[in-house]
Each structure stands twice: as C-alpha cells, then as structure tokens.
Amino acid sequence: MSDTVRIISSAVLSENWGKLNKVKYETLLKDGSWQTQEREVYNRGNGAVILLYNKVKQTVILTEQFRLPTWFNGNADGMMIEAPAGLLDEHDPEECIRRETEEETGYTVTDVKRIMEVYMSPGSVTEIIYFFIAAYSDAMKTGEGGGLDKEQENIEVLEINFDKALKMIYSGEIKDAKTIMLLQYAQIHSLLGSD
C-alpha cells in the first residue's frame, strides 16, 4: 500500500448508508521509527457541490433542508442553508453536479467550471468534495426543484442577494463549510462584481 503506512487490521463496524471501519495501522515517523495507531474511518463516497450565480441580478441559488446531524449538535431546528450538492454514486463529478442541480433547484446548467477538490473532514471521513461554479439565468429554470421524493428530499430553493448571503455567514445563518467556501471563492474572484 505505502512505504509509510502498514495496515495491521480492519474491521467493519457498520455498513448502512456508508461504511465505518475500525483500522489498526502503523505509520512511519520522521525519526524512522514506526508508531501503531487505531482510528475509525468512515467511507460514505465522494460528492460534488455547486454555486449558481447571476451576475446581472447579483444573486446566488442556495437550498434549505433539514440535516439531522446538525440537530444533534445544537442546531435548534436542524435546518441548513447550503449550496446544491450530492453524492457521486459512481458518476463523474460534473455529471453528478448537473443532475443534482436540476433535481434540487430546477435549473438546467450547461457550462459548469470545476474550481477545486477538498477533503472536508480528513481525520475521520474519506470523502472528497468536488467544487463547481456556474452562471445561471431565469431562462435555465426548467423545473420546480426540491429534490426527489424517492430520496425523501424536502428542499426549499432560495434565490438570495449575494451581499446578503455573505452577511448570513457572519450572522450564523449559513454554517455549512462547503457553502461558505464557495461564497468566499465568489467574493475573492469577483464573480458577482462588475466587468
């Protein structure tokens, strides 16, 4: 596997939505010695996320939905405002994000740009998130969005002024890391600034 990591054992603890393993391994330290460690590793697959932005209207499309893990960790109503996202399910990241955008928001986008890929929680989760951006217009609205009933999704589509969305980060209304990263990327790169 590697000259610096040796797997001693791996046991499946859970295999429901994702796969949780308990892994015992040795890792090579800088001084040349080996250290034995034990960690839990959660593999839920990789995902993709997108920020839809409209330069003329100075708006972005975000979604709002209930997220049970946040409720368990102090989010009183469990609702989260996020950029549209989804799991790859063995699909190409760009194919996935086009599909998820249409399912969640009702917008059909054609010209998407991949800007980065990120390990969101590398201490325990294997997931890589592929980040995309795309301009949108009212003419691209081809459906209602809201997610898929078969996936028990109940998603509200939000069109928010870009400056307001940035303020929502600091007010605590937007707490999702991938969404914050995309909004700040848009701000740094002046996606919604003047030409």
Taking the CA atoms of residue 113, residue 46, residue 149 and residue 102 in that order, the dihedral angle to the nearest 10 degrees is: 10
- Give the class (CATH, top level) of 47-188: alpha beta
For 20-52, how does the pLDDT look when each residue is reduced to its tens digit (9 = 90+)? 999 999 999 999 999 999 999 999 999 999 999
For 54-94, how does the pLDDT look when each residue is reduced to its tens digit (9 = 90+)? 999 999 999 999 999 999 999 999 999 999 999 998 889 99
> How far apart are the C-alpha atoms of 182 and 174, rounded to whole Å?
12
For residue 31, report the phi and psi dihedrals to the nearest 5 degrees.
-80, 5
Burial of 94 (0-12, 13-18, 19+ CB in 10 A): middle
For 123-148, how does the pLDDT look when each residue is reduced to its tens digit (9 = 90+)? 999 999 999 999 999 999 999 887 76
What's the mean pLDDT in 93-99? Answer: 95
pLDDT value at position 2? 82
Considering only CA atoms, give the Rg of the chain.
Answer: 19
**pLDDT category of residue 150 using cuts at 50, 70 and 90:** low
Burial of 105 (0-12, 13-18, 19+ CB in 10 A): buried
Structural domain boundaries of the chain?
A: 5-43, 47-188
Q: Are 136 and 61 in contact (CB under 8 A)?
A: yes
For the cut 80, the answer to whether the pLDDT of residue 149 exceeds it is no
